Structure 1
Amino acid sequence: MSHRDTARALIEQHGTTYAEDAGIRLDDKPAALWQLLVLSLLLSARISSDIAVAAARELFDAGCTTPERTRDTQRRSLIAAFGRSGYRRYDERTSTQLHGLADKVLDDFSGDLRRLHEDCDDVPALEEALQEFTGIGPAGAAIFLREVQGVWPDVTPYVDGLAAKGADRLGLPTVPESLADLVPAKDLPRLVAACVRAARDRTVVDGVRG
């Protein structure tokens, strides 16, 4: 199987982005970017990605679709949303972090993460800026940038260490530019998301190769 064939099979079987899983219609607009930041916070905790995605859906259903609405959502409502999704181990801490996240996005960027993008000259600057949010470390910043490259073209190709590990398991190139060459630009976030799944679950590799 050629690299292109492997990439195509990988996308077909596992190429749903985490934003899509969480019901986020990702575009370069304030609400969608905020929702991606929330998802990145949840996914970076030591908890399964399925539970993190379910928690994001519950939070959005509870009204946390913008920083303003999240800031105005009472703590007990956030904890209840976490409980419904099974995201219980970190519910109280993450509730505090969500309110802090909303405050910072509102105070520093007037609720619009496009301003953060404009303030950063390159990808390392974006990684650093994202990590200034409480609860967003290197893993959270990588999650955000892997997904947002679909709407922030200057971030492309973004392939972090976890995605590269999955690509390597599949016998695909780990150099970002070489991996990106295997698919149309619009499909790169899907390919990278699938590579992350391959890094986390060897059955993904077996299924694609089998």
Structure 2
Amino acid sequence: MDAKAKKLLDDAGRQTYAEEAGIPVKDQPAALWKLLVLANLLSTRISAKIAVAAARELFAAGGGTPRGMAGLSWQQRVDALGRAHYRRYDEGTSTRLGRMAEIVLDVYGGDLRRLPDKAGRDRSRAAELLEHFPGIGPTGADIFCREAQAVWPWLRPYVDRLALRGADRVGLPGDPGKAGVPGKDVARFTAGLVRVARDKKLADAVARA
């Protein structure tokens, strides 16, 4: 593996954003639902740290499954977001999360493992389907796919624009394969690229490797 790629994984890619939020990296209904919630929360103009904290609060309140999220009242979701200081977007996000849960239940039978078949395991089609969820636009679809490639190998390598910006900042190729990164580490690698895209101090430390 490229020395700089190893430095990136060690300093910025020890965890994906899902793992940071306490979401198990598994191809299971609850884990994929939680990832979708996190992608929704990360899509707004708010810090990743606050979005991760908000996800944890929602899951602790009972929103860790589509049925559980749908069962929370609008105010309960707002309160959970507020405890994580997810402000300004809390009311609209509460509404979108409730609607998103209903769609997962109605269209996917509560199980997002059906999405790959619906998408024909085509990355562009998967992104289109994800954008049908309220609050998930191109950015949210990128976040979901970037993280889901840890358990859905057909997505690999998924390197979105923000990750490419990080690669350029630290002088790494945008293609993980060219940096010698094995498939099992690609999701962590791209998460690390996103972190250095957002953090100049961290990027400088990696770039010096």
The TM-score bracket by the shorter chain reads: over 0.9
| Bigger shift: residues 168-177 or 155-164 | 168-177
Q: Which runs of 5+ in 2 are unaligned?
A: none
Q: Per-residue displacement from partner, 1:92-120 (whole Å, max 9, x unpaired)?
A: 00000000000000010100111111111
Separation in structure 2 between the aligned mates of residue 151 and residue 144 of structure 1, nearest angstrom: 11
* 1:193 corresponding residue in structure 2: 191
1:209 shift after superposition: 2.9
So what's the TM-score if we normalise by structure 2? Answer: 0.95
Q: How does 1:54-133 map to 2 (within 5 A)?
A: 54-121=53-120, 122-133=122-133
In the other structure, the counterpart of 2:153 is 153
- CA positional deviation for 1:207: 1.5
1:184 deviates by 1.8
Deviation digits for residues 147-184 of structure 1 (CA, Å, limit 9, x no counterpart): 000100100110011101101111111246535xx212
CA distance in 2, matches of 1:176, 1:191: 7
| Residue in 2 that maps onto 1:14 | 12
Q: TM-score, normalised by structure 1?
A: 0.95
| Structure 1 residue aligned with 2:135 | 135
- Using the alignment, how far apart are the partners of 1:146 and 1:82 within structure 2? 24
Instruction: Find out whether 1:183 has 2:198 as its counterpart.
Output: no
- Tell me the residue number matched to 1:204: 202
Amino acid aligned to 1:113: L
Give the stretch that moved more between structures: 200-209 or 86-95: 200-209
2:171–2:207 contact (8 Å) kept in structure 1: no
* Distance in 2 separating the partners of 1:178 and 1:97: 39
AA of the residue aligned to 2:72: T
Aligned length: 206
User: Is 2:176–2:189's contact at 8 Å kept on the other side of the alignment?
Assistant: no
CA distance in 2, matches of 1:155, 1:100: 26
Larger deviation, residues 68-77 vs 168-177: 168-177
State the distance in 1 between where 2:76 and 2:128 align: 31
3-state SS of 1:62 partner: helix
Larger CA deviation: 53-62 vs 170-179: 170-179
Q: Given residue 162 of structure 1, which amino acid in structure 2 is its aligned partner?
A: L
Whole-Å separation in 1 of the counterparts to 2:136 and 2:176: 23
Instruction: Flag the 1:176–1:123 CA change in 2: closer, same or farther, 3 A.
Output: farther
Deviating 4+ runs (over 4 angstroms): none
Counterpart code for 2:138: P
Q: 1:89 Cα deviation (Å)?
A: 1.1
When the two chains are superposed, the root-mean-square deviation of aligned CA atoms in Å is 1.1
Q: Secondary structure at the match of 1:81?
A: helix
1:4 aligns with 2:9: no
